[in-house]
Amino acid sequence: MGSFLARNLSDAGHTVVVIEKDPETCEKLARGTFAMVIQGDACDYRYQEEARVDRADVFAAVTGDDDDNLVACQLAKTSFGVPRTVARVNNPKNERIFNLMGIDAISSTTVISHLIEEETTIGDIITLHVMKKGKLAIVEVDIPSGGCGACGRPIKDLRFPQGCVLVAVIRGEEVTIPRGEDSLQPGDSVIAVTSVEKEEKLKKILTS
């Protein structure tokens, strides 16, 4: 996970420094990415100092050990003043502890469980991407081909709940960014950003 993250961020033009204990992994990382690689323990002050963590916008701890990730993030926050710390959380029960300490906790188990729950309960809504630790989603909703109450009315009059925003309408081969005066037509596909708890209400507005 660390090497994948470092490579992607480097390719995107970010300056990346990796702290890694294992010497063989360090050698592979140095060959495979444009990131600076430091062999050492990220829970140790001297290695974070060598990595110039004080200049970082974001510190990410993605080891397979929750304790190590917590200590490394806390060190980055308290000793080097990093404005945002992100940690991989392997045990979902630890998420609350990380969040209470001001660390953005990302648990793949929690995200996957949200995805499974959405697939089994939402039905007509297809989840394209989940954000904000499973609280926000980009979804696709198909407007019934036989029409619905939302069809033909200005989008601004549909009264979507707070936390729901339409970002695109797909009509045949054409994709448009909807404006308030535009209207939906039978057979359209709608791409929206919504909080997970508002998905069912969004579905009712667009398909009833």
Residues 145 and 59 in one domain: no
Find all residues with CB under 8 Å of 183, minimum gap 6, and list them: 151, 152, 153, 154, 155
**Burial annotation 21-47 (CB, 10 A radius, 16+ → b, else e):** eeeeebeebeeebebbbbbeebbeeeb
Residues 79 and 128 in one domain: no
The answer to whether residue 111 sits within a structural domain is no
Residues 179 and 203 in one domain: yes
Q: How confident is the model over 2-17, as a mean pLDDT?
A: 87
Report the range of poorest mean pLDDT among 38-42, 120-124, 169-173. Answer: 120-124
pLDDT at 122 over 50: no
More confident position, 97 or 134: 97
Residues 132 and 69 in one domain: no
Q: If you count DSSP H runs as helices and E runs as strands, how many of each does the chain have, helices first?
A: 7, 10
pLDDT band at 63 (very low <50, low <70, confident <90, very high): very high
Residues 93 and 70 in one domain: yes
Q: pLDDT value at position 6?
A: 86
More confident position, 119 or 110: 110
Return the CATH number at 184.
3.30.70.1450
What is the total count of domains within the chain?
2
Return the CATH number at 71.
3.40.50.720
Residues 124 and 101 in one domain: no
Instruction: Give the best-scoring range by mean pLDDT among 3-7, 98-102, 135-139.
Output: 98-102
The answer to whether residue 102 sits within a structural domain is yes
**Distances in Å between the alpha carbon of 188 and those of 158, 170, 205, 208?**
16, 6, 14, 14
Quick: pLDDT tens for 82-118.
Answer: 999 999 998 888 988 998 999 988 887 666 666 555 5
The answer to whether residue 91 sits within a structural domain is yes
Quick: pLDDT tens for 149-171.
Answer: 889 999 999 988 888 889 899 99
The answer to whether residue 184 sits within a structural domain is yes
CB 153 within 8 A of CB 146: no
Q: How confident is the model over 166-180, as a mean pLDDT?
A: 89
The answer to whether residue 69 sits within a structural domain is yes
| Domain, as residue range, for 43 | 2-106
Q: pLDDT value at position 82?
A: 96
The answer to whether residue 191 sits within a structural domain is yes
What's the DSSP call for residue 198?
A: G
